[in-house]
Structure 1
Amino acid sequence: MAFTLVIGGARSGKSAYASRIAEAHARETGVCPTMIVTAEALDAEMAERIAAHRADRGETWSTVEAPRALAQAVTALEGADVAVLDCVTLWLSNHLLDDADLALEVSGLVLALSLTPAQVVVVTNEVGQGVVPDNALARQFRDEAGRANQVLAAAAERVVLVTAGLPLTLKP
């Protein structure tokens, strides 16, 4: 099944929009939606963010933690499943810090997304519209995220840009 890519800046409303898509699909099919998360609680502030996101979703969602093994998490989904993958840029950051082959990781994720029978909504950050970062690692992250977003957008059936909570369909 083809997937939907939801892209936007920080606090743009992209995760909430992706969740609404999944919840609507779950109501139609009678399934419990799944949130595939890539964040890791490496400090107290991130732990608070994760707890707030979990509380916002409520108890009707199941959660799969996949900070690195994202393709495997997608592959484990079944045909009736609906999932939100949140988010690609944190996943890329995890792999970047591990010095992984990011192009290989992204191609593996795209393959898993293209083969899964589940309905998947993929969330990613648009990071290329701001200032040029002042250090090499941040510039590398921005460049890798931009490349990954282009690959994902090309493979997605639907691409939606969310700004200020407002969705704008870019594809089809």
Structure 2
Amino acid sequence: MAVILITGGARSGKSARAEALARSFPDQPPIYIATAEALDTEMEARIARHRTRRGTGWVEHEVPLDLVPVLATSDGGGARLVDCLTLWLSNLLHAERDWEREVSELAGALPRLKSPVILVTNEVGLGIVPDNALARSFRDAAGIMNQVIADTADSVEFMVAGLPMKLK
């Protein structure tokens, strides 16, 4: 079993890298666990582009909130790709759920899984300090989440300009 975390900035190649890794595991079709919701036309277009790029052969689950149960029920199948943790965190905050508890539950569940899991997340702390409390709170929560999951992961990659840099 492998837990792989892929992080980086916007349009750094995270999803394409994660998709290639998920397809590289043999025997069973990869499983795509999408955390995004198509709440507007722009997000609908993004989701459509991701689906087109991935092509056929994926088992898809749309999971905006309850990530750990889907990882548990899909265990024993193909490699799972969670795209992405940053949107999952945003969904948790919007739903006023205890994100720290949910991140802790995810970190605790990952080592117990049998099938590979590839997690995509955004590195949001490399820019300027946001000018409002909500954005700073989200940036801080994302940084904490990424540290917790990176600590649990077997491998961590940082994507820059489509190139992976191995961190762990």
- Root-mean-square deviation (Å): 1.0
Q: How does 1:63-78 map to 2 (within 5 A)?
A: 63-78=60-75
Amino acid at match of 1:30: D
Question: Matched residues in 2 for 1:99 and 1:10: separation?
Answer: 25
> Which residue of structure 1 aligns with residue 130 of structure 2?
133
**Superposed displacement of residue 134, structure 1:** 1.2
**Superposed displacement of residue 67, structure 1:** 0.3
- Could you tell me which runs of 5 or more consecutive residues in structure 2 were left unpaired when the two chains were aligned: none
Residue 160 of structure 2 is aligned with which of 157, 160, 163? 163
- Indicate conservation of the 8 Å contact 1:77/1:117, yes or no: no
Q: How does 1:1-150 map to 2 (within 5 A)?
A: 1-25=1-25, 29-150=26-147
Amino acid at match of 2:4: T
**Superposed displacement of residue 139, structure 1:** 0.6
TM-score (norm 2): 0.97
Question: Matched residues in 2 for 1:41 and 1:80: separation?
Answer: 27
Question: Matched residues in 2 for 1:147 and 1:72: separation?
Answer: 22
Question: Matched residues in 1 for 2:23 and 2:106: separation?
Answer: 23
- Indicate conservation of the 8 Å contact 2:157/2:164, yes or no: yes
- Indicate conservation of the 8 Å contact 1:33/1:61, yes or no: yes
SS, match of residue 60 in structure 1: coil
- Could you tell me which runs of 5 or more consecutive residues in structure 1 were left unpaired when the two chains were aligned: none
Question: Matched residues in 2 for 1:135 and 1:99: separation?
Answer: 19
Identity over aligned pairs, percent: 51
**Superposed displacement of residue 68, structure 1:** 0.3
Question: Matched residues in 2 for 1:62 and 1:170: separation?
Answer: 29
Question: Matched residues in 2 for 1:161 and 1:10: separation?
Answer: 12
**Superposed displacement of residue 165, structure 1:** 0.3
Residue 152 of structure 1 is aligned with which of 131, 149, 153? 149
Aligned length: 168
Post-superposition Cα deviations, 1:67-109, rounded to whole Å, max 9, x if no partner, equal: 0011111111222421110000000000111221111010111
